[in-house]
Amino acid sequence: MVAIPSRHKSLVLLTGAVLLQVLLLAVQIKSDTRGSLIRVWTVTAISPFERAGAWCIDGVKNTWHRYFALRDTELKNENLRRQNDQLKLEVNQLQSKAGEADRLAALLNFRDAHKQIPMLAARVIGGSADNSSQAVYLDRGQRDGIERNMAVITPDGVVGKIIAVFNNESQVLLLTDKESGVGAMLADTRVQYPVGGAGGKQLMLKYVPNDDPVNLGDKVVTSGMDRIYPKDLPVGTITQIKPNMPFKEVTVKPAAAFDHLEDVIVLLTMQPLAPKNEPEAQAPANAAKPLPPPAAQQ
Amino acid sequence: MNDTFDIRSAETHIEVYKFRMGTVVIVTALALFLQAMFPIHVPRLNVLDLPLLITIYFALSRRNPSTGLLLGMVIGLLQDSLSKTPLGVFGISKTIIGYVASSIGARLDTEHPAARLALIAIFFGLHQGIVVLIHRVLLAQPEPWFTTGLGIAAAVNAFVGVLLFILLDKLRKT
């Protein structure tokens, strides 16, 4: 057997360690797995501390807000009451308009349909350990019925989708991640474009031809075509449009508050969510059946 | 048994530092825990790469390339498993950083804050370069080699690293 000089042992060890990990990477890419066993161990070991950390931080925040930051509460209460009255008025106006507009009617139907959609509230307990990706961990997992590719939302808008599920935790790929995407459309014109993350705080509306009419302030909602996110959920608002070749660069400010995600809703279904009382008679006789849930992507 | 020992050559006298039992494990776990908490509770601190700083510190202190690269590999793989990256991206980069840092640590005195500042910035750049290389070559994902944000992150990590290293020095066996 060839003896390795002691001064070269560490170099041999380095080469072995790097090759081993390259092999590990290759296996994951080839078999589309993400080394679940090591991940399960690590997440299981770290998540109790994350839960405890989240609990402590919440405690400190609550103590601060409830006992030390009450100086302006009276004024804030008054402002909130006023805002509430204003919002009630706006809701009433919207409800009256809904009867006249087909799109809003469909939206309301969809809202009705939401009552039967199995949903699960979850708390964000941790983030990704690398600063280049945008993912968070939830305190709910397989035991709560969560599966990969399920949609995660907040009342404000779309948050992301489940990319990994553990017994008691799950990992969400946020919409702002560079590898994330959602089938979307403009709320007014109903023209469809995909929306993807840009790796920062903003989203990008992709493949918008230069002659397509897109305006600042336009609302972007989900199209439901990706079979992950239900139709008509708010995605964001267009905040910047730059002409470029071959497509415009359209920046979208997300509707969901990604800066302080705390509680989210997981839609416990991967079936397409059609409006509840959409007249079946209107559907063509040979309408295509809903596609099965998407195959695992990562 | 002595707690510390010296590497002696004809011209150099560089001390190898050891730590109290469990220090490396606890500090590593704490770094990973904090790194996972930053994006949720303190997004501004997301530029920090605590696992990298810990890898550099222990590698420089132990001055043993084998220990350095194995520690870097473990920390990197743990960071991978808490991220969405495939296992091995941070594993490979931190393995190499652990090896290089401990090799340099065995030849140079890296106790001076100015030396540490420069080394951390250089290692941050090297680490980023390796991560981008892996993304481009092995994962076929186009990642930029350099952005202004990365330059700022290198500077922030270097400054925070110097302060962190001073704190970690207190954990050394005397």
Least confident span in A2-16, A103-117, B60-74: A103-117
| Residue A249: burial class (beta carbons within 10 Å; 0-12, 13-18, 19+) | middle
pLDDT top residue among A278 and A245: A245
Q: Find all residues with CB under 8 Å of B65, minimum gap 6, and list them.
A: A10, A11, A13, A14, B99, B102, B103, B106
Predicted ipTM beyond 0.90? no
In this complex, do B37 and A53 lie within 8 Å of one another by their Cβ atoms?
Answer: yes
Q: Which residue of B has its CA nearest to A130?
A: B83
Beta bridge partners of A173: A135, A161
Nearest to B43 among A35, A49, A259 (CB): A259
Residues of A in contact with B99 (CB under 8 A): 10, 14
Q: Is the pLDDT of residue B92 over 90?
A: yes
Distance CA B145, CA B131 (A): 10
Against a cut of 0.80, is the pTM above it? no
- Which residues on adjacent β-strands are paired with residue B8? B13
If you average pLDDT over every residue of chain A, what do you get?
77
Q: Determine the residue of chain A that is closest to B132 in CA distance.
A: A132
Q: Which residues of chain A have a CB within 8 Å of the CB of B92? A: 18, 21-22, 25
Residues in B 84-113 with any Cβ partner in A closer than 8 A: 84-92, 95-96, 99, 103
Quick check: helix, strand or coil at residue A283?
coil
Nearest to B41 among A49, A57, A137 (CB): A57
A41 contacts in B (CB within 8 Å)? 81
The interface residues of chain A toward chain B in range 74-113, judged by CB-CB distance below 8 A, are none
pLDDT digits (tens, 9 = 90+) for A144-194: 999 988 999 887 889 999 998 988 899 999 999 988 889 999 988 888 999
Tell me the shortest Cα–Cα distance from B31 to chain A, in angstroms.
10
CA distance A69 to B119: 43
CB contact under 8 A, A26 and B138: yes
Chain A contact present for B152, CB below 8 A: no
Q: Do A35 and B36 touch (CB under 8 A)?
A: no
Q: Are A184 and A220 in contact (CB under 8 A)?
A: yes
* Percent share of chain B, pLDDT over 90: 42
Question: Model confidence at B55, in pLDDT bands (50, 70, 90)?
Answer: very high
Q: What is the pLDDT of residue A250?
A: 93
Instruction: Decide if A202 contacts A258 (C-beta within 8 A).
Output: no
d(CA A59, CA A173): 27
Subunit contact A49:B29, Cβ cutoff 8 A: yes
Q: Do B84 and A164 touch (CB under 8 A)?
A: yes
The pLDDT value given to residue A246: 83
- A124 to B40: CB separation less than 8 angstroms, yes or no: yes
Distance from the Cα of A216 to chain B's closest Cα (Å) equals 27
